[in-house]
Amino acid sequence: MSTLVSVLKHEITRLARKEVAAGTEVLRKASAQYRRDIASLKRQTKTLSKQVAYLEQQEKKRMSKRVSVTSAEGKRFSRRGLTTHRKTVGLSGADYAKLVGVSAQTIYSWEQGRSKPRVQQLAALLAVRDLGKREAQKRLLLLEG
């Protein structure tokens, strides 16, 4: 009788293993596919991160190119024009100052007519003056980040 019990127990164990293996086969295949997908997404993310870093570097280079001082000579400064442009692009005096490369107090003094920009500062103003609202926001984000 003990051999019958052990044979029956062995057969039940074998069948149970077979059923479990069949049930987990689908999960193993799905798991392997998920791992492949994750690896592919990691490669894609790495590539895109490199591209973004390259483009940010190029944009910073492009932004750093300013109007030359010689082209700023002979240009006139208008405090109303400065105020109008700053309001048009929707920036505070402090944010506009970051774009120009001066302090917020300097922008305030220029707008109030208490002082005028030097030639180098006028060149920076000329570079910023042609910006639209979106471009100014984008440059400001790059300067802050």
Say how far apart CA 33 and CA 115 lie, in whole Å: 67
Helices (H), the chain: 2-64, 69-72, 79-88, 93-100, 104-112, 119-129, 133-144
Q: How confident is the model at residue 136 (pLDDT cuts 50, 70, 90)?
A: confident
CATH class of 69-144: mainly alpha
Give the pLDDT of residue 107: 93
pLDDT in tens, 21-74: 888 888 999 999 999 999 999 999 999 999 999 988 887 776 665 555 666 677
Give the pLDDT of residue 69: 61
Higher pLDDT, 19 or 70: 19
Is the pLDDT reported for residue 145 higher than 70?
A: no
Contact 136, 86 (CB under 8 A): no
pLDDT in tens, 59-91: 777 666 555 566 667 778 888 988 999 999 999
